[in-house]
Amino acid sequence: LRKLVRFGVSINSELLGKFDELIESKGYAKRSEAIRDLIRDYLVEHEWEKDAETMGAVTVVYDHHVRELTESLTALQHEFHSSIISSMHVHVDEHNCLEVVVIRGKGSKVKEIADRLISTKGVKHGKLTMTTTGKGLV
Amino acid sequence: LRKLVRFGVSINSELLGKFDELIESKGYAKRSEAIRDLIRDYLVEHEWEKDAETMGAVTVVYDHHVRELTESLTALQHEFHSSIISSMHVHVDEHNCLEVVVIRGKGSKVKEIADRLISTKGVKHGKLTMTTTGKGLV
Amino acid sequence: LRKLVRFGVSINSELLGKFDELIESKGYAKRSEAIRDLIRDYLVEHEWEKDAETMGAVTVVYDHHVRELTESLTALQHEFHSSIISSMHVHVDEHNCLEVVVIRGKGSKVKEIADRLISTKGVKHGKLTMTTTGKGLV
Amino acid sequence: LRKLVRFGVSINSELLGKFDELIESKGYAKRSEAIRDLIRDYLVEHEWEKDAETMGAVTVVYDHHVRELTESLTALQHEFHSSIISSMHVHVDEHNCLEVVVIRGKGSKVKEIADRLISTKGVKHGKLTMTTTGKGLV
């Protein structure tokens, strides 16, 4: 059972005014939602610091004409198949592809797989996004 | 026509030794590849600073049981359909979903769409990865 | 006149429990203080995005034995004397110095000065911390 | 004895052209210097990941009129005096101060002290810059 509680924050009115203005421009409909997002983001950061079970998304951009590159990336994903949940391929233009690989595991393991994907010869740009399984982040 | 050139870097041997050790642990097969990756990453950062045409991947984690959330996220993606290239949905567990949305456009536009997705009520965690179309990043 | 107000946040009890645990480990005495910090950090990030008047601290690490390096860094600081508020020099060991330079100005100007300091030949490591004048951040 | 070596990087001419353009705009006089900076920055990041001995600079912005705040910050710095190397105080305006505290130690220890300073009631904004002792970063 999920229980909703309410807590109060004391704050200077000027600071609150600026915050309200900013979150409106970001598209938030309610202040509580923005506060919860700040809280959850702070918790996810900590999840990664303490090497807990988590999820990451690696984006790699590459030219599919590069010899054997597609094969290498596929082989790598098979090597780590137990940690890799899914991947998506986007055709950017005649040459360039963007691939997003979603990985689940301990933070250090996710980083290791990301390092391997990003360091593959021919990958032009790679980045790991540290996200979360969402578990416990109600 | 793409022309390969070669340039020399003078460096202290101790520093080079440490670099070689680190890139080996990251999985790089060749030093030139690691150097090119550092160069490209530096260029992509700048691409975003000067608000050029680029690509971003937004990951959002949410509970699909939250009423109307899936509908809101889908509606948003339709609103920005001309900028959104593709999206992928991952079932993390009984409750949690991870969705990756790939967006193309000027950096500021990509950020705006990311803000809208991340600020949607019920989204537990959202992050924008600033990547690239790969164009000109040979 | 600064007016203190109070607003309520509705949140799941489990999420709040995790947040309380984390902020206690970080040393926060009160929850409101942690929330205000998240809010202010979010506002400062935005201050830099919209290129408002702000403050930055540049740290550079270098070997003071490198010929003419100290002179170059000093000359640079004089060139931008109207923006540079103060600097501090720390003797790390026989060779290495760490210098912190505090700069005030529009975000883009602060970045430009930071780039110049960091790119000076002989500087081993340089980083810009984007902070704030604190004005309006009650 | 420090030995200078030279290594070659093979790269596409278009990519190199863009890199040269960017580093010139950043103020680099020589390409080798920019490459060495990218390498050193990459090494420093790793230094922090593996929790080696390193240095950090914490900047905190606060209103010195807040009761007991200056005392709290001073007391904290005394508590960790063996790790804190130096600190600098800047008067931003009638209300606001910016203080930079330079800390030396294992990454995790430096982070702990930074957390404590940043979480002090009344501190408006705090940030840790992860830098280095420069040792071995020739």
ipTM for the predicted complex comes to 0.88
- pLDDT surpassing 90 at residue B98: yes
Give contacts of D104 with chain C, Cβ < 8 Å: 92
Task: Please list the pLDDT of chain A residue by residue as tens digits (138 residues).
Answer: 568 999 999 999 999 999 999 999 999 999 999 999 999 999 999 999 889 999 999 999 999 888 899 999 999 999 999 999 999 999 999 899 999 999 999 999 999 999 999 999 889 999 999 999 998 787
Residue with tokens 């309006």: C136
Q: In the prediction, which pLDDT does D25 show?
A: 94
By C-alpha distance, which of A121, B4, B49 is closest to D15? Answer: B4
Residue identified by tokens 């509908």 is B71
What is d(CA C28, CA C8) in angstroms, rounded to the nearest whole number? 19
| Per-residue tens of pLDDT for chain D, all 138 residues | 568 999 999 999 999 999 999 999 999 999 999 999 999 999 999 999 889 999 999 999 999 888 899 999 999 999 999 999 999 999 999 899 999 999 999 999 999 999 999 999 889 999 999 999 998 787
D7 in Cβ contact with B9 (< 8 Å): yes
What pLDDT was estimated at residue B26? 93
Q: Measure Cα distances from B132 to B52, B62, D13 in Å.
A: 10, 26, 19
Q: Please list every residue in chain C whose beta carbon sits closer than 8 Å to the beta carbon of residue D95.
A: 134
pTM above 0.95, yes or no: no
pLDDT for res A1: 52
C118 touches chain D (CB under 8 A): yes
Nearest to D138 among B4, B6, B12 (CB): B12
Classify burial at A70, counting beta carbons within 10 Å of its beta carbon; exposed 0-12, middle 13-18, buried 19 or more: middle
In this complex, is the C-beta atom of A50 within 8 Å of any C-beta atom belonging to chain C?
Answer: no
**Is C103 within 8 Å of chain D by CB?**
no
Cβ contact, residue pair A15, C46, below 8 Å: no
Tell whether A76 lies on the interface with B, counting CB pairs under 8 A.
no
Collect contacts of B69-73 with beta carbons under 8 A, ≥24 apart: B69/B120, B69/B121, B69/B122, B69/B123, B72/B120, B72/B121, B72/B122, B73/B99, B73/B117, B73/B120, B73/B123
Q: Which site among B22, B42, B61, B76 would you substitute to test the A interface, given the most A Cβ atoms closer than 10 Å to its Cβ?
A: B61
Residues of D in contact with B2 (CB under 8 A): 12-14
* pLDDT recorded at residue D135: 87
Q: How far is B112 from chain A (nearest CA, A)?
A: 7
Whether B82 contacts chain D with CB within 8 A = no
pLDDT at B137 over 90: no
In degrees and rounded to multiples of 5, residue C119 shows phi and psi of -85, -5
List the one residue out of C130, B3, C27 whose CA is nearest residue D120: C27
pLDDT in tens, C95-126: 999 999 999 999 999 999 999 999 998 899 99
What was the pLDDT predicted at B1? 52
pLDDT in tens, C28-79: 999 999 999 999 999 999 999 889 999 999 999 999 888 899 999 999 999 9
Confidence tier at B138 by pLDDT (50, 70, 90) = confident
Q: Which of D12, D31, D137 sits opposite B15 (nearest CB)?
A: D137
